[in-house]
Chains A and B, each alone.
Chain A
Amino acid sequence: MKMRQVLHIFKKDVRHLWFEIAVAMTVVAAFTFTGARRALWLVDPATNRIAAWTLVMILLPLAWWTLIARVIHDEVLPGDSQFWITRPYSWRSLVGAKALFILAFISLPMLLADGVIVRAYGFPLEGELSGLLWSQVLLAIVFVLPIAALSALTTGFVQLIFAILTPCVIALGVAIVAPELVLGGFLGGSDWVKTYYVFLLISVAASGILVWQYSMRRTAAARSLAVAAGILAVLGMTLIPWSAAFRIQSWLSKRRVDQSLVRVDFDSGSRWLTRAVIEGDDRVRVELPVNITGLPAGMIAKPEGFSVHLQAPDGAMWQADQLPLRIASKMGHKFSLEATVDGAFYRRVKDEPLKVRGSLYMTLLGNRRTVRVPFGDRFVHVPRVGVCSASGGANRQSYFLICSSAFRFPPVLVSYRFIESAKEAVQDVWSSTEPRRAISYSPFPAELGISPVSQDFTFSTVPLPLSEAMVDTVEPLAHIRRNLEIDNLRLGDFEVRPAPVSP
């Protein structure tokens, strides 16, 4: 790569696309301004201009995509009539110039904007550096690389829009008919494995297409690669089993906790909780009460997935993988887990003693921490979460708590409480094992998102004087699997037919 040629092409692109650059910079400035002002939301609600923020969030990717498409289409790759292909361009220099342009007018401004916004929220920049950098990597993978690759496969805006819309329309059509084909199942806290598979695929395919196109300009082959990558992405989303995702999660689990005593057993004391509910679509919902014992002190278990085989004496077998995990009921460490069984299989074996062999995938959480957040205007740093601020309403009858996290929702279970000052009683807003939102166990310091700050908001309208809010967190310490064995289970003994609904 000749640096002089890189800079020469870069200067030409800047000169040609100055208007598009100016528009993109204006949108980034608006993003920075509105994003930073949102930090003052609780103090000054007038600063939370949702419409402006929403508009900026829509305009920002559009500005990036326009800029990327325009700069790549300045030296169109498909075709045989472009002036530049018979000129002494080095393909490496051309790629270098385009990459420099994208770095200078997309990545660098976003890095600075994110830094300013995060700082405005009160996050120390040095502590968020990994998240700041990783979020730029994710933005590049999802917002820059695919559009750059598609631009390298097209000759202009019309073709590009067609290339973007065609797979979107196909995916939308399939998603309406069979959503599981496009989105696959939700893998709970390990869903990031699937997401990162897609990120990896995008990175490899888009980089491959760009290098292939710039070095050889074999558009037909590169378009085939793009289609193959799209199919692989959909297949991956659909076919990655949650048990594989959970295994990867377990393998990455850094903390070593003593889990040797942890057991999962059929809760024979609560045998009455076992049910075989006949459902309308020739399916039977089997509910099995289990008891988790042997947890180290201070730890809680969060079931993530349940895989079960039901085997009849004649060898007939039914396998059910349940994810997202459906928990029929929960009492402390007692769970009633659900598995769906085919109606025909059920009718055949319901009066026979079944052998049940299952595996329960769980996350062990511990290291509970509680941080007080007094009502007032100031931000309180809450480890593992970010910064929180609590506010008593003007009439002292409504109370707010808002927590902001930089670059990703915290990978911990969070619950919020408001404390009543007079009686020192605790009002539990949320229980500690039922998170307010889906937790991600991703080990990476940032999640994909244009906004660098994610916020969680709760409130109380109890007509009592409250003194402060509290934020409780427990962190995931281990992801484990335990086997479950039940013998001689006669499902017919627990059959439940839903009462007919009266007209």
Chain B
Amino acid sequence: MTDILRAIDLSKRFRKTVVLDHLNMSVPEHSVYGLVGPNGAGKTTTIKILMNARQPTEGLTEVFGHDSRKLSPEDFTQIGYVSENQQMPDWMTVEYFMNYLRPFYPGWDAARAENLLRQFELPPDRKIRNLSHGMRMKAALASSLAYRPRLIVLDEPFTGLDALVRDELIEGVLGCADGATILISSHDLSEVESFASHIGYLDRGRLQFSEEMTSLVDRFREIEITLANPSQSSISWPATWLNTEQSAAVVRFVDTQFDPERTIAEVHHLFGNTHQISVNPMPLRAIFVTLAKAGRRAA
């Protein structure tokens, strides 16, 4: 699978503030890549650099294999970009906006555009300035899906939207994706976990991990051990164990590289005999909370 988006050793500083710190990331073609992380992690900056809306301080980003700084109008005919804080031409009506954009895109599908307006229940004769935030996002999305883009980039598209509108938008995106690659950023994992095929976790400008959802869920386990011989001696924890807690007889931790044989062997090596070892799969949300906590402790 080829990578349709790449960030190579990407750094961005605003004066002395480091927003992106030697970020390396790639988004495989046809994937739905969820870029998640807390507010201020650098998600929007990464996407803006990918879209050539901002310049990197160091490093490089590529879209369709081209340096983002050289994205041509032809490249943009294959990109649908929607952002939460996008400035729209407020004076245009929804219909005029769609009609205005149509000649820019050779692949504009008028029937699909009409369907999208209907599906999103957008009033064609209403000015964009008079639309609610949710309606504006729908208008932006409709105008970005009508030409069947090869790449759809959604930057925090669900912020400030109620659940119903969010579901409508997701439905709209997935319904029109036609195998397009989707990069979607969000600070809330639950917004993307239901449909993302890949996930990247960005924190303080660094990508903590980036992998397929299935492998991510497979390798994280919450483990609780009841010790046979309680001991108070200090233990050197393996680097792959996070959020370690130890009382006299019970040890709890999250193994980030769970492998049944290796993990059990490590437990026996560190603690000797155990009464009980309980291994629990983790929901995605718990994985992220663990990572965020571990990251803060490390900082």
Interface string of B41-74 (1 = CB under 8 A from A): 0000000100111110000000000000000011
Contact between B104 and A81, CB atoms less than 8 A apart: no
Which chain B positions have C-beta within 8 A of A218?
55
Contact between B104 and A5, CB atoms less than 8 A apart: yes
A4 within 8 A of B: yes
Give the distance in Å from the alpha carbon of A82 to the alpha carbon of B83 in the complex.
Answer: 10
Contact between B100 and A12, CB atoms less than 8 A apart: yes
Contact between B103 and A5, CB atoms less than 8 A apart: yes
Chain B contact-residue range equals 20 to 34
A80 within 8 A of B: yes
CB distance from A432 to the nearest CB of B (A): 62
CB distance from A462 to the nearest CB of B (A): 65
Give the distance in Å from the alpha carbon of A85 to the alpha carbon of B55 in the complex.
Answer: 13
Contact between A87 and B87, CB atoms less than 8 A apart: no
Interface string of A51-83 (1 = CB under 8 A from B): 000000000000000000000001010011111
A315 within 8 A of B: no
Partner of A89, one of B52, B55, B73, B91: B73
B33 within 8 A of A: no
A347 within 8 A of B: no
Which chain B positions have C-beta within 8 A of A80?
48, 53-54
CB distance from B79 to the nearest CB of A (A): 7
Which chain A positions have C-beta within 8 A of B85?
81
A86 within 8 A of B: yes
Give the distance in Å from the alpha carbon of A233 to the alpha carbon of B28 in the complex.
Answer: 53
CB distance from A224 to the nearest CB of B (A): 15
Contact between A90 and B53, CB atoms less than 8 A apart: no
Give the distance in Å from the alpha carbon of A16 to the alpha carbon of B86 in the complex.
Answer: 20
B258 within 8 A of A: no
Contact between A87 and B76, CB atoms less than 8 A apart: yes
CB distance from B211 to the nearest CB of A (A): 28
CB distance from A4 to the nearest CB of B (A): 7
Contact between A87 and B53, CB atoms less than 8 A apart: no
Give the distance in Å from the alpha carbon of A119 to the alpha carbon of B206 in the complex.
Answer: 71
B89 within 8 A of A: yes
With contacts A83-B140, A88-B74, A90-B73 known, is A4 near B79, CB below 8 A? no
A497 within 8 A of B: no
Partner of B53, one of A4, A16, A74, A86: A86
Which chain A positions have C-beta within 8 A of B74?
88
Which chain B positions have C-beta within 8 A of A86?
51, 53, 76, 79, 81
Give the distance in Å from the alpha carbon of A90 to the alpha carbon of B77 in the complex.
Answer: 11
Contact between B101 and A87, CB atoms less than 8 A apart: yes
Contact between A81 and B86, CB atoms less than 8 A apart: yes
Which chain B positions have C-beta within 8 A of A12?
100
Q: Which residue of B lies closest to A86 (CB)?
A: B81
Give the distance in Å from the alpha carbon of A16 to the alpha carbon of B96 in the complex.
Answer: 11
A8 within 8 A of B: yes
Contact between A4 and B103, CB atoms less than 8 A apart: yes
Give the distance in Å from the alpha carbon of A288 to the alpha carbon of B53 in the complex.
Answer: 68
Contact between B104 and A83, CB atoms less than 8 A apart: no
Contact between B86 and A83, CB atoms less than 8 A apart: yes
B253 within 8 A of A: no
Which chain B positions have C-beta within 8 A of A81?
53, 83, 85-87
Please indicate which of the listed interface residues A16, A76, A80 has the most CB atoms of chain B within 10 Å of its own CB: A80
Which chain A positions have C-beta within 8 A of B100?
8, 12
Please indicate which of the listed interface residues A4, A79, A81, A90 has the most CB atoms of chain B within 10 Å of its own CB: A81
Which chain A positions have C-beta within 8 A of B87?
76, 79, 81-83
B294 within 8 A of A: no
Partner of B103, one of A8, A76, A79, A85: A8
Give the distance in Å from the alpha carbon of A88 to the alpha carbon of B87 in the complex.
Answer: 16
CB distance from A328 to the nearest CB of B (A): 61
Please indicate which of the listed interface residues B85, B86, B140 has the most CB atoms of chain A within 10 Å of its own CB: B86
CB distance from B85 to the nearest CB of A (A): 5
CB distance from B67 to the nearest CB of A (A): 13
B18 within 8 A of A: no
Give the distance in Å from the alpha carbon of A4 to the alpha carbon of B104 in the complex.
Answer: 10
Q: Which residue of A lies closest to B128 (CB)?
A: A83
Give the distance in Å from the alpha carbon of A82 to the alpha carbon of B55 in the complex.
Answer: 15
Give the distance in Å from the alpha carbon of A86 to the alpha carbon of B68 in the complex.
Answer: 11
Which chain B positions have C-beta within 8 A of A76?
87
Interface string of B73-99 (1 = CB under 8 A from A): 111110101010111110100000000
Give the distance in Å from the alpha carbon of A4 to the alpha carbon of B48 in the complex.
Answer: 29
CB distance from B224 to the nearest CB of A (A): 47
Interface string of A1-18 (1 = CB under 8 A from B): 000110010001000100
Q: Which residue of A lies closest to B85 (CB)?
A: A81
CB distance from B83 to the nearest CB of A (A): 7
Give the distance in Å from the alpha carbon of A5 to the alpha carbon of B52 in the complex.
Answer: 21
Please indicate which of the listed interface residues A5, A74, A88 has the most CB atoms of chain B within 10 Å of its own CB: A88
B105 within 8 A of A: yes
Give the distance in Å from the alpha carbon of A325 to the alpha carbon of B112 in the complex.
Answer: 77
CB distance from B135 to the nearest CB of A (A): 15
Which chain B positions have C-beta within 8 A of A90?
73
Which chain B positions have C-beta within 8 A of A16?
91
Contact between A85 and B53, CB atoms less than 8 A apart: yes
Which chain B positions have C-beta within 8 A of A5?
103-104
Give the distance in Å from the alpha carbon of A130 to the alpha carbon of B101 in the complex.
Answer: 42
For chain A, residues 85 to 124, give those with C-beta under 8 angstroms from any C-beta of chain B.
85-90
CB distance from B150 to the nearest CB of A (A): 13
Give the distance in Å from the alpha carbon of A74 to the alpha carbon of B53 in the complex.
Answer: 17
Which chain A positions have C-beta within 8 A of B81?
86
CB distance from A74 to the nearest CB of B (A): 8
Please indicate which of the listed interface residues A8, A12, A82, A83 has the most CB atoms of chain B within 10 Å of its own CB: A83
Q: Which 8 A-B pairs have the closest CB atoms?
A: A88-B73, A80-B53, A86-B81, A88-B76, A88-B77, A88-B104, A90-B73, A81-B87
A-B contacts besides A80-B48, A83-B140, A85-B51, 9 pairs, CB < 8 Å: A8-B103, A8-B104, A81-B53, A83-B86, A83-B87, A86-B81, A87-B101, A88-B77, A218-B55
Residue positions of B touching A, CB distance < 8 A: 48, 51-55, 73-77, 79, 81, 83, 85-89, 91, 100-101, 103-105, 140
Pick 30 A–B contacts, CB within 8 A, sort by A.
A5-B103, A8-B100, A8-B103, A12-B100, A16-B91, A74-B89, A79-B87, A80-B48, A80-B54, A81-B85, A82-B86, A82-B87, A83-B86, A83-B88, A83-B140, A85-B51, A85-B52, A85-B53, A86-B51, A86-B53, A86-B79, A87-B104, A88-B73, A88-B74, A88-B75, A88-B76, A88-B77, A88-B105, A89-B76, A218-B55
